[in-house]
């Protein structure tokens, strides 16, 4: 954390290498968070780049007090996603067919993962907005509960409650859809 | 009670995200295991479903794009002088703010430094803002990666080479004469378009090679070829910025010189686009 604080300070002083290191640490997580929300690879790629350009533009205004850098960055990503859906409200969500899974080397695993991604995406659609956000930030973004709380402007306790409720609900939806599939 | 369970669930999720197994998590909390297990299985499935990664090509392209923005923003003395002015402003502002809480001798010293900085800037900025076309042509010529590679190959230190520019026509074309500082012999001629800020032709006196702008090959293609070399890949992956490209193409041979920059460091990469390979890498 201290190392990140010093990187942020150096980036604020205009050191490109420091910003580059912050970019390396957070790039994959930001992309993952966005692509699972917008479910379109090309748009997710554009938006990920935009997040970092915005961060670079406004890093001078970032203050460490109480808000970890990752939370600040994810808040920018969240705002991008909100803007995206505001603009595309009437358009249909695209499938995740082009998204690259980590296990893409094995075609069977890849197919399984895509199926699982679809199932989880459909099930997540039945969660409340806040529950969905907690799940995205926690599992796709890899943020801690404290960091999620800062992004969402809630207490850590409230985030833990939302996380619990979301998992209970996801479990119910996923098991009922599995029962339907099995006959 | 519910609050305690939420804490335990949260801790187990943290452990799962860090790579601990489901069984290890359950062993820590045997009393809650029955309630925890189904939720942690859903958590694992969600984590697995979220394990997507960006395309490697996209990562490379995104990194290059950000890199070019980052290094363009870096404050340095450039023609036009605006970044230098910003830097000066911030230094002066910082210096004045810092004066408030310091001892008298430090204040005096700081004031002297601020005055010296202001005087220095008064002398430097007009020179930078009003850089003469001749000086600009000379700078563009000597900074060109093709010229640098040729001088290195002929064993001339680019920094030691004398140069003198003359205007070639009524427009923006200048000839820069490269002179050997040892005996003032003419090494070659570089044609520079200062409006386009580029070298259009490089001619060496020794030998009959005439070099010109790159034709029929894009910078992206050249970067792709360069990346095939492990050293170039290493440099680019370490956030180097792709700089200027210059062609050393003649009827006899076709070579492209590409510049890579990382902070103060600079590399010149010589590439054969026909063979699709890197010929050499010079570190400056």
Write the pLDDT tens digit of every residue in B10-65.
999 999 988 889 999 999 999 999 999 999 999 998 988 888 888 888 888 888 78
The reply to whether residue B53 touches residue A102, judged by beta carbons under 8 angstroms, is: yes
Can you tell me the ipTM of this complex? 0.82
Domain A104-183 has CATH 1.10.10.10: yes
Cβ contact B151:B157 at 8 Å: yes
Mean pLDDT value across chain A: 84
Q: Which of B6, B17, B49 sits opposite A113 (nearest CB)?
A: B49
| Contact residues, chain A, for B6 at CB < 8 Å | 157, 160-161, 163-164
3-state class of B107 per DSSP? helix
Cβ of B66 within 8 Å of Cβ of A164? The answer is no
Give residue limits of the domains in chain A: 1-91, 104-183
Would the CB atoms of A167 and B62 count as touching at under 8 Å? no
| Residue A120 C-alpha, separation from nearest chain B C-alpha, in angstroms | 7
Q: Nearest Cβ partner of A135 from B6, B46, B69?
A: B46
Q: Are the beta carbons of B211 and B247 closer than 8 angstroms?
A: yes
pLDDT digits (tens, 9 = 90+) for B155-186: 777 777 888 787 776 678 888 888 777 776 77
Total-model pTM: 0.55
CA dist A164 and B131 (Å) reads 66
Q: Does position B214 have pLDDT exceeding 70, yes or no?
A: no
Choose which CATH entry (3.40.50.720, 1.10.1740.10, 3.30.360.10, 3.30.1330.10) describes domain A1-91: 1.10.1740.10
* The two structure tokens encoding residue A18: 């420091």
Chain A contact present for B74, CB below 8 A: yes
């Amino acid at each position: 954390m201290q190392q990140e604080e010093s990187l942020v300070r150096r980036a604020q002083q205009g050191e490109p290498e420091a910003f580059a290191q912050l970019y390396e640490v957070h790039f994959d997580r930001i992309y993952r968070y966005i692509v699972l929300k917008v479910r379109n690879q090309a748009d997710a790629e554009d938006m990920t780049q935009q997040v970092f350009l915005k961060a670079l533009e406004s890093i001078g205004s970032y203050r460490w007090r109480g808000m970890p850098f990752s939370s600040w960055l994810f808040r920018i990503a969240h705002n991008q996603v909100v803007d995206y859906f505001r603009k595309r409200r009437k358009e249909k969500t695209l499938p995740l067919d082009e998204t690259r899974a980590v296990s893409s080397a094995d075609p069977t695993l890849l197919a399984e993962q895509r199926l699982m991604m679809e199932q989880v995406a459909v099930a997540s659609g039945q969660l409340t907005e806040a529950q969905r956000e907690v799940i995205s930030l926690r599992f796709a973004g890899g943020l801690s509960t404290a960091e999620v709380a800062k992004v969402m402007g809630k207490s850590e306790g409230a985030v833990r409650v939302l996380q619990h409720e979301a998992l209970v609900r996801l479990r119910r939806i996923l098991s009922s859809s599995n029962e339907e599939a099995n006959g | 009670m519910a609050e305690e369970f939420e804490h335990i669930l949260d801790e187990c999720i943290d452990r799962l995200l860090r790579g601990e197994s489901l069984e290890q998590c359950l062993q820590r909390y045997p009393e809650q295991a029955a309630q925890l297990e189904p939720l942690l299985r859903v958590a694992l499935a969600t984590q697995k479903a979220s394990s997507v990664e960006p395309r490697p090509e996209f990562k490379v392209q995104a990194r290059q794009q950000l890199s070019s923005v980052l290094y363009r923003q870096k404050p340095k003395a450039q023609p036009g002088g605006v970044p230098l002015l910003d830097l000066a402003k911030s230094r002066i502002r910082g210096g004045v703010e810092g004066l408030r809480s310091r001892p008298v001798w430090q204040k005096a010293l700081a004031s002297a430094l601020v005055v010296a900085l202001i005087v220095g800037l008064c002398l430097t900025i007009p020179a930078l803002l009003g850089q003469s076309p001749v000086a600009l042509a000379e700078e563009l010529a000597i900074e060109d990666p093709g010229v640098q590679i040729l001088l290195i190959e002929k064993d001339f230190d680019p920094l030691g080479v004398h140069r003198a520019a003359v205007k070639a026509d009524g427009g923006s074309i200048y000839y820069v004469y490269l002179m050997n500082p040892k005996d003032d012999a003419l090494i070659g001629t570089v044609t520079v378009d200062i409006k386009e800020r580029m070298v259009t032709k490089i001619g060496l006196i020794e030998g009959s090679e005439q070099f010109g702008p790159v034709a029929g090959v894009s910078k992206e293609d050249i970067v792709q070829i360069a990346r095939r070399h492990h050293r170039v890949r290493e440099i680019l992956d370490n956030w180097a910025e792709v700089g200027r490209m210059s062609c050393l193409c003649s009827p006899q041979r076709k070579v492209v010189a590409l510049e890579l920059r990382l902070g103060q460091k600079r590399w010149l990469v010589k590439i054969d686009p026909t063979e699709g390979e890197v010929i050499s890498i010079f570190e400056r």
